[in-house]
Every structure is written in structure tokens, then in C-alpha cells.
Structure 1
């Protein structure tokens, strides 16, 4: 009788260990993330291959510098493997802001314009990446192709 109980306990412990190990493996973030999103019918430019590992390992960029709350404040407590929402969850309109909308918002304040722009997924991504890259290049004194990419073709492969 004791052997049967011990066997069941060992089996349950083994199954629990497998689930735990699978969860740990699944929760690590890949080094390269294709910035592909089902919200787009088609992509006119090449898919950005975001070097996630390079950003947080090599450049020691904290998770919260890209991942933020609804007010744009960094999510300071994030660590690798934590669940995060995709950008499209909050920046819901796929693509860039159309010219007509840019014309409509010309008279708004800078803050109001930016709030409207951030509704657009591509605008939000571009602002986040490009602004950070420009600041990095300025800090390091990089010019042209020496620093972090800031042009369309540098990020979007053909």
C-alpha cells in the first residue's frame, strides 16, 4: 500500500516539475523578434527583425524603456520572461497616421497632436525606436551609418 502511494506522489511531482520547466522555458524572450503583426493586411516594407537580446543584454536597456503604462511611464518592475502586452493592444490603429488626419490636427497643441499620433501603431513604434536611437547616436557622437539605425531602409530590410 505504501509503495502505491509513494508511486502516485512521485508521478505527481514529476508531472508538476515538467509543467514548471516548460513554463520557465516558454517565458524567456527570444533574442530576435520579427515585428510582424496580424493587424496589417500586408506589409509594404520589410519586417523589422528587432534584436531584443542585443538591446537588453549588450546595451543594458531596461525593459521599461520600451514597455510602458498607459501614461507612457516605464514599467520598472519588468524582467525577462514577464508577460507584456503587444503594442497594438493600446496603439490600436494599424499603420501610420494618414495625411488627411495630419491636416486635421494641425491646429492642436503639441501634446494633443502626439496623443493622436500615438493611437497609430506604426507611429508609436517609430517614435519609440527612432527617438531612442537618435538620443543614443547623439550621446555617443555617431553620425550616419555608424550608430543605431534611424532611417526606413536601415530597419526595414528589402
Structure 2
């Protein structure tokens, strides 16, 4: 075999290897996801550090009867229907892409009159809280335990 042919095969192999690694790295899911967003520059509570791996492996896979929708327990479409066919590494939108207003809904007499459903649709923090707290409450109810946190201080660490 000619040296130029061997060199071409070697170069193609190296490019393929780096391309595959880049694709894998681009779709990898971090074990711990800091639920931080540039929209929360003035966030007063500590930022939640969400363990994707723990939720998927320790909770969902270990308790499929409590989590029948798999990834769809958290990830949903614009009609709030679970995305049941997701796999780890699939590209998903960040919640802020649809729930565009970064804060919780305003309170007080001048606040917009929104139903809970409307607030969840518009306000990012309302959507996150409804999703997480709703799941935690359902888990506690179904499991008969109170192990999933439902209060602010259990999920939001104290700011340093």
C-alpha cells in the first residue's frame, strides 16, 4: 500500500474520532446542573444545584411506577405534554425559551390578574417551581414518605 493511502486513512480516522468525540461532548448531560440563568442576575435565594443523574438513576429508574413518563416527567412540549421518547443526550430547550419572564409573578394590587396556569406559562420561576414542587409532592404522596423536599430552604442553598 502506498504511503499516501495510509496517510489518508490515518487522517480520516483521526478526523472521525475527533468528530465523534465532539458530538458526544455536545450532547452529554452534566451530572449536576446549576439551575442558573443570566436572567436571574438579582436572584435573592441560592441557586439550585439539580442532580440530573440522581433524579434519573436513583429515582426514575429505581421507581418506574412513580415516573411513568421517564424524561417527560420534567421535559414537555408547548401543550404541556410529556416528551416521553427523550433519551439522555437529546437536545432539549432550556425552560426560559418558552417561559420567558425570568421572575415569579408579581404580587400586590397592581400585579396582573393571572391564573396559576397562566403564571406557569409566562413566568420561568413559576414553571420551575410548579414542575419541581409538583413532582416532589406527588413522590411523597405516592411513596408514603416525606423525602422529596417541598420547601424553599431544602432546594435553595443559603447565599454565601
Instruction: Specify whether residues 102 and 84 from structure 1 end up closer, same or farther in structure 2 by C-alpha distance, changes over 3 A only.
Output: farther
Partner SS for 1:50: strand
Shift of 1:67: 0.6
Deviations 1:54-73 (A, max 9, x none): 11111125111101000000
CA distance in 2, matches of 1:71, 1:51: 26
Matching residue of 2:25: 25
Shift of 1:42: 1.8
1:53 aligns with 2:61: no
Q: TM-score, normalised by structure 2?
A: 0.85
Q: 1:131 aligns with which of 130, 134, 138?
A: 134
Write out the 4+ residue segments of structure 1 that deviate beyond 3 Å after TM superposition.
100-104
> Cα RMSD (Å) of the superposition?
1.9
1:1-158 aligned within 5 A: 2-60=2-60, 61=67, 62-100=70-108, 104-105=112-113, 113-143=116-146, 147-158=147-158
Deviations 1:96-120 (A, max 9, x none): 00014895426xxxxx541233210
Shift of 1:132: 0.6
CA distance in 2, matches of 1:115, 1:70: 13
Gaps of 5+ in 1: 107-111
Q: TM-score, normalised by structure 1?
A: 0.86
Q: Is the 8 A contact 1:96 1:120 kept in 2?
A: yes
Shift of 1:50: 0.5
